[in-house]
């Protein structure tokens, strides 16, 4: 199966998987490959490895989309853009976009309670990633979007992130704070209720002004509900679009294969479009079937003639041991690869990417990953 066809049909690719497996590397590679083939590709990335960020120029640019210099690959036909997620900035921007007017906008941005809440939500990178994604999709500037996702402890967090803010803003909760006794102060309403001893105590501790501030804040925020809901629906529609693919990235390790398997189930249960599964950083099985002692014996006969026998024997023993260990590692990885391939049934494609020597930290190295990903036929699953 040729992954170039898959990429051609894709408008949005979301890379998911556990921490450290190569999500960011894969996301950047997919966007780069699109750019090499004439697309205007944007990778939305989160906390890329420092050297990758440096070489892409991401350390300087922050949360605005920036064009990546592809002069190292003169035959590139398209454009590669990247932006690094800055949660706080994204959240404030979100308020700016959905606020009904400048007064409400400024009041919310300056509100102490908003600042507290923004800190909490800004920590939720998965939510911010989807928010930024929506913005970028709206601009219409790009014909390929690749979303890198934060390492999630719980896969559900990411998939449900657009709903989080909505749940918080649920109108029923908000109306409890803001209605229905119009005119009366929030604090006095609270204290009027016989069962509101807790709030009476809150008033005693924080002062009634604070409770009134809270009410004003909730009232302003309520006006945003409709905007959030529309964005939530739009992001969900984007996730379900036939030209969207969720690509699960894992490494040949027990824990990341477990997370990848779990993701397959979650995506299937939610009827989200699966693109495929990539096992990254696979050790090469090349030479695994060689008889090490025969090969090493030959080498020793040729190269070892001038060396004392004990040195030759010690080197041979070490090399033989290293080969044996690598062989065992490859066998263990193959068992895990088989497991993840079975779990990927119906996902689309299954592809393995070798572990390269050294870090993948610049456009040229990403292109090497791209070759392994796109120029070697993948398995259809």
Binding site for Mg ion (CB under 5 A): 23-24
Residue 25 touching ligand ATP (CB under 6 A): yes
Among 3, 14, 24, 239, binds ligand ATP (CB under 6 A): 24
Query: Of 212, 232, 258, 202, which Cα lies nearest the Cα of 17?
Result: 258
Among 11, 297, 355, 362, binds ligand ATP (CB under 6 A): 355
Minimum separation from the CB atom of position 51 to ligand ATP (A): 7
For residue 368, with 0-12 CB atoms within 10 Å meaning exposed, 13-18 middle and 19 or more buried, which class applies? middle
CB nearer to Mg ion: give 37 or 54.
54
Minimum separation from the CB atom of position 17 to ligand ATP (A): 6
Reading the block at residue 88, the tokens are: 């706080």
Candidates 71-79, 129-137, 157-165, 351-359: pick the segment binding ligand ATP (CB under 6 A).
Answer: 351-359
Residue 361 touching ligand ATP (CB under 6 A): yes
353 binds, among Mg ion, ligand ATP, none (CB under 5 to 8 A by kind): ligand ATP
Name residues whose C-beta falls within 8 Å of residue 141's C-beta, 6 or more positions apart in sequence. Answer: 40, 42, 65
Give the whole-angstrom CA distance, residue 379 versus residue 282: 16
Tokens 């853009």 belong to: 81
Give the whole-angstrom CA distance, residue 356 versus residue 26: 13
How many residues touch ligand ATP (CB under 6 A)?
Answer: 19
Residue 356 touching ligand ATP (CB under 6 A): yes
Query: Of 94, 97, 83, 96, which Cα lies nearest the Cα of 124?
Result: 94
Contact 231, 98 (CB under 8 A): yes
For the CA atoms of 330, 333, 335, 337, the dihedral, rounded to the nearest 10 degrees, stands at -130
Minimum separation from the CB atom of position 158 to Mg ion (A): 13
Give the whole-angstrom CA distance, residue 112 versus residue 45: 30
CB nearer to ligand ATP: give 19 or 123.
19
Alpha helix locations (H) across 100-185?
102-110, 112-122, 125-139, 155-168, 171-178
Residue 21 touching ligand ATP (CB under 6 A): yes
Residue 323 touching ligand ATP (CB under 6 A): no
Residue 49 touching ligand ATP (CB under 6 A): yes
Backbone φ/ψ region at 287: left (φ over 0), alpha (ψ -120 to 50), beta: left
Minimum separation from the CB atom of position 262 to ligand ATP (A): 16
Contact 52, 347 (CB under 8 A): no
CB nearer to ligand ATP: give 118 or 279.
279
Please report, as residue ranges, which positions from 128 to 157 form the binding site for ligand ATP (by CB under 6 A): 151
Minimum separation from the CB atom of position 339 to ligand ATP (A): 19
CB nearer to ligand ATP: give 13 or 211.
13
Q: Catalog residues that contact ligand ATP under the rule CB under 6 A.
A: 19-25, 47, 49, 151, 280-281, 353, 355-356, 359-361, 369
């Amino acid at each position: 199966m040729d992954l170039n066809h898959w990429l051609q049909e894709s408008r949005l690719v979301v890379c998911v998987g556990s921490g450290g497996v190569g999500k960011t590397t894969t996301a950047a590679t997919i966007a780069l490959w699109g750019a090499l083939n004439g697309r205007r590709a944007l990778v939305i990335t989160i906390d890329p490895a420092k050297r990758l960020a440096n070489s892409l120029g991401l350390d300087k640019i922050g949360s605005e989309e920036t064009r990546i210099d592809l002069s190292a690959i003169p035959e590139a036909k398209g454009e590669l853009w990247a932006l690094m997620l800055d949660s706080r900035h994204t959240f404030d921007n979100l308020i700016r976009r959905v606020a009904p007017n400048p007064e409400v906008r400024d009041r919310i941005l300056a509100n102490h309670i908003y600042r507290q809440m923004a800190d909490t939500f800004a920590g939720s990178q998965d939510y911010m990633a989807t928010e930024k994604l929506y913005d970028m999709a709206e601009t219409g500037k790009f014909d390929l979007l690749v979303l890198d996702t934060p390492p999630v402890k719980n896969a559900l967090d990411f998939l449900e992130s657009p709903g989080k803010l909505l749940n918080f803003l649920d109108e029923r909760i908000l109306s409890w704070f803001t209605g229905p006794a119009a005119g009366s102060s929030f604090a006095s309403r609270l204290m009027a209720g016989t069962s509101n001893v807790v709030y009476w105590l809150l008033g005693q501790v924080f002062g009634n002004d604070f409770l009134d501030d809270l009410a004003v804040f909730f009232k302003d925020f309520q006006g945003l509900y409709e905007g959030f809901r529309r964005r939530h629906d739009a992001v969900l529609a984007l996730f379900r679009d036939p030209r969207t693919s969720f690509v699960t990235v894992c490494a040949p390790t027990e824990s990341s294969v477990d997370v990848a398997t779990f993701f397959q189930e979650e995506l299937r249960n939610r009827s989200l479009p699966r693109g495929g599964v990539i096992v990254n950083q696979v050790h090469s099985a090349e030479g695994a079937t060689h008889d090490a002692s025969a090969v090493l014996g030959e080498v020793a006969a040729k190269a070892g003639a001038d060396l004392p026998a004990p040195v030759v024997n010690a080197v041979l023993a070490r090399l033989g041991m290293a080969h044996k260990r690598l062989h065992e590692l490859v066998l263990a990885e193959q068992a895990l690869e088989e497991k993840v391939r079975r779990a990927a049934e119906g996902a689309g494609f299954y592809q393995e990417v070798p572990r390269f020597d050294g870090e993948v930290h610049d456009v040229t190295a990403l292109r090497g990953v791209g070759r392994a990903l796109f120029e070697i036929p993948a398995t259809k699953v």
